[in-house]
Chain A
Amino acid sequence: DARVTQTPRDKVTEMGQEVTMRCQPILGHNTVFWYRQTMMQGLELLAYFRNRAPLDDSGMPKDRFSAEMPDATLATLKIQPSEPRDSAVYFCASGLLTGAAGELFFGEGSRLTVL
């Protein structure tokens, strides 16, 4: 049963520390997204990649967030330095998108708490 895998599931860290979240997309999917979910804002798009190339990272605070896809089986989201306002659940999603068609499949999320 193919699924998107995210690690860690839960992370508690102190302000100023570096945090790296990892995602293994579904094999064969050509597009990978990073979303952040909070009670106040709901699901917000941070960045996405098509065929490993970054297409849009306008949703990310550029000074502290970075997203990469070093190979087809791994996407990473890094926060350095982390701040309490970064506390949220971070979701990775992948899809086989052709034009406008294609649904996204989400991982279970990484819950980040920054103290």
Chain B
Amino acid sequence: EDQVTQSPEALRLQEGESSSLNCSYTVSGLRGLFWYRQDPGKGPEFLFTLYSAGEEKEKERLKATLTKKESFLHITAPKPEDSATYLCAVRYTGFQKLVFGTGTRLLVSP
């Protein structure tokens, strides 16, 4: 069964303490992997799309990477405003829908 698994479920960091979030997938025919950020009471906000293994994307303190089995969202020197839930989603061959993982809740303390 096609699955998207994110880890850890929750992560607490001190401001400036870099870390990585993981998204592993078991879909056949990956056509794209997407990262979203969701703040409480809001809809998911698009961050990155990765299409092939080895691809990397960066935005401010965030960097997303992709291998054949997983993606990482690296957060460098996070700030409290980076606190949010980070969602990973995949699109696979034959379908345009996005299948989401359950997310990682990130809390960055000052």
Report the minimal beta-carbon distance from B7 to chain A, rounded to whole angstroms. Answer: 14
Nearest to A104 among chain B residues (CB) is: B98
The answer to whether A107 and B43 touch (CB under 8 A), given A42-B102, A100-B32, is yes
Option from A4, A33, A55, A103 in Cβ contact (under 8 Å) with B49: A103
| Number of chain B residues close to chain A: CB under 8 A | 25
Instruction: Please determine whether A48 and B45 come into contact, CB atoms closer than 8 angstroms.
Output: no
**In the assembled complex, A108 has its CB within 8 A of some CB on chain B:** yes
Counting CB contacts under 8 A, is A105 at the interface?
A: yes
Q: Which residues of B contact A45 (CB under 8 A)?
A: 97-99
Q: In the complex, which of the residues A4, A56, A105 contacts B97, with contact meaning CB atoms closer than 8 Å?
A: A56
Contact indicator A42/B100 (Cβ below 8 Å): yes
CB distance from A44 to the nearest CB of B (A): 8
Cβ A43 vs Cβ B46 within 8 A: no
A101 and B98 CA atoms in complex are apart in Å by 11
* Interface pair A108/B46, CB less than 8 Å apart: no
The CA-CA distance from A4 to B44 in the complex, in Å, is: 12
Determine the chain A residues whose CB is within 8 A of the CB of B95 once the complex forms.
56
With A43-B87, A50-B96, A105-B46: A100-B101 Cβ-Cβ less than 8 Å: no
Interface SS majority for chain A = strand
Contact mask A88-115 → B, CB, 8 Å, 1/0? 0001010001011101111111000000
In the complex where A42-B103, A100-B91, A101-B32 touch, is A109 in contact with B97 (Cβ < 8 A)?
Answer: no
A4-55 residues with Cβ-Cβ distance < 8 A to B are 4, 31, 33, 35, 42-43, 45, 48, 50, 55
Given A43-B87, A100-B32, A101-B32, answer yes or no on A106-B97 (Cβ-Cβ < 8 Å).
no
- Which A positions have Cβ atoms within 8 angstroms of B? 4, 31, 33, 35, 42-43, 45, 48, 50, 55-56, 91, 93, 97, 99-101, 103-109
Q: Could you list 6 examples of A-B contacts with CB < 8 Å? A: A50-B96, A93-B43, A101-B51, A106-B36, A106-B44, A108-B42
